[in-house]
Amino acid sequence: MTPSLVQDIETAAGLLAGATDVTLLGHVRPDADALGSALALGHVLHRRGAKVRVSFGEPDEAPETLAWLDVDGLLTKPVDLPPVDGLLVALDTPTLSRLGRLAPRVAAARESGGSVLVVDHHATNGYYGTHHVVTESAEATAVLVARIIEAMGAELDAPAARSLYAGIVTDTSGFRRASPDTHRIAARLLEAGADPGEVSRRIVDDHPFAWLPMLSAVLAEACLEPEGAQGFGLVHTVVRAAEAATVRSEEVESVIDVVRATREAGVAAVLKETAPGPVWTVSLRSAGDVDVSAAAAEFGGGGHRRAAGCTVAGSADEVLDRLREALGRAPLLRAS
């Protein structure tokens, strides 16, 4: 950690330790890192006696696979969220637009003289708060939250440890991209009571049977373009609304993890039909040669160099054509 990051963490810890009313927000359609980070920090603050709410712009309910992490009942639907009076914390959310319909809360908090703490690990972070703990060097926002909780001098218990572990295990793809320091943090989480088998099973490995026919239909449409993505290879498939309707969002989000395993493809893309039009939410993954966040940014999306996403309207063929072009000019990540 750089001295300035250590200072930012100390400042954030002081801000949180003095707060009596805290609203924690994750990005829309929250993943385990966004929600796990918010619930872990929320749990620690709740235990210290603060009034705490955790929310996100959409959908109304937390994903089933993550809701069990909320042992204190902190999750609050956007419509039930009172006006922010106190500290607002945005987690794993690089830009205001990723807060969805809760984005105006940031301006409201700032106008009323409140503090807005942004904790995030996206390179594209827009520094929209009053205080920031932001570094691309953290593999997960949960890593930064673990350091903030440590700096607060707060004890890590099992619920907080489990939520942080959920964010780290998913954002590092099962520790494939975790530094020695992050493994050390994970060890402390296990010592505090996180059960790695339970977290991985409930969040990553648990699907209803309907997952299999959905995968079967979607994978049958997978297409490999060996010359795509500047010769590194592109594999893609499409999840249509009718197929998505047979399963939860968790199963739809799992498709990219199957498709990205394709050896012949340096880039994997999954188009998920999310609204009539049609409108597609696109997941992009890179094996490490092509910067997919640059391609996603062309469509107003973002993410990380190896994992990014965006939303694009048009027929699947049109969207794929535009993606091919964007990937054709995306920066390369290493000399080859």
**Positions that interact with Mn ion (CB under 5 A):** 33, 92, 141, 171
Helices 158-171 + 196-203 axis angle, to 10? 60
For Mn ion, the closer of residues 32 and 160 by Cβ is: 32
Smallest distance, Mn ion to C-beta of residue 176, A: 15
For Mn ion, the closer of residues 171 and 251 by Cβ is: 171
Smallest distance, Mn ion to C-beta of residue 333, A: 19
Smallest distance, Mn ion to C-beta of residue 166, A: 11
Closest-CB residue for Mn ion? 33
Smallest distance, Mn ion to C-beta of residue 148, A: 15
Q: What are the two backbone dihedrals, phi and then psi, of residue 286, each rounded to the nearest 5 degrees?
A: -120, 140
Smallest distance, Mn ion to C-beta of residue 35, A: 10
For Mn ion, the closer of residues 97 and 230 by Cβ is: 97
For Mn ion, the closer of residues 92 and 251 by Cβ is: 92
For Mn ion, the closer of residues 43 and 304 by Cβ is: 304
CB atoms closer than 10 angstroms to residue 168: 30
Beginning with the edge strand found earlier in the chain, give each strand of the sheet holding 307-313 in spatial order. 223-225, 234-239, 267-275, 279-286, 307-313, 302-303
Q: Is 192 exposed, middle or buried (0-12, 13-18, 19+ CB in 10 A)?
A: middle
For Mn ion, the closer of residues 65 and 141 by Cβ is: 141
For residue 69, give both structure tokens. Answer: 């992490």
Smallest distance, Mn ion to C-beta of residue 320, A: 27
| Residue carrying structure tokens 């001295």 | 3
For Mn ion, the closer of residues 98 and 105 by Cβ is: 98
For Mn ion, the closer of residues 167 and 228 by Cβ is: 167
Is residue 106 within 8 Å of residue 149, measured between CB atoms? no
Smallest distance, Mn ion to C-beta of residue 324, A: 27
Smallest distance, Mn ion to C-beta of residue 152, A: 21
For Mn ion, the closer of residues 92 and 253 by Cβ is: 92
Smallest distance, Mn ion to C-beta of residue 181, A: 17
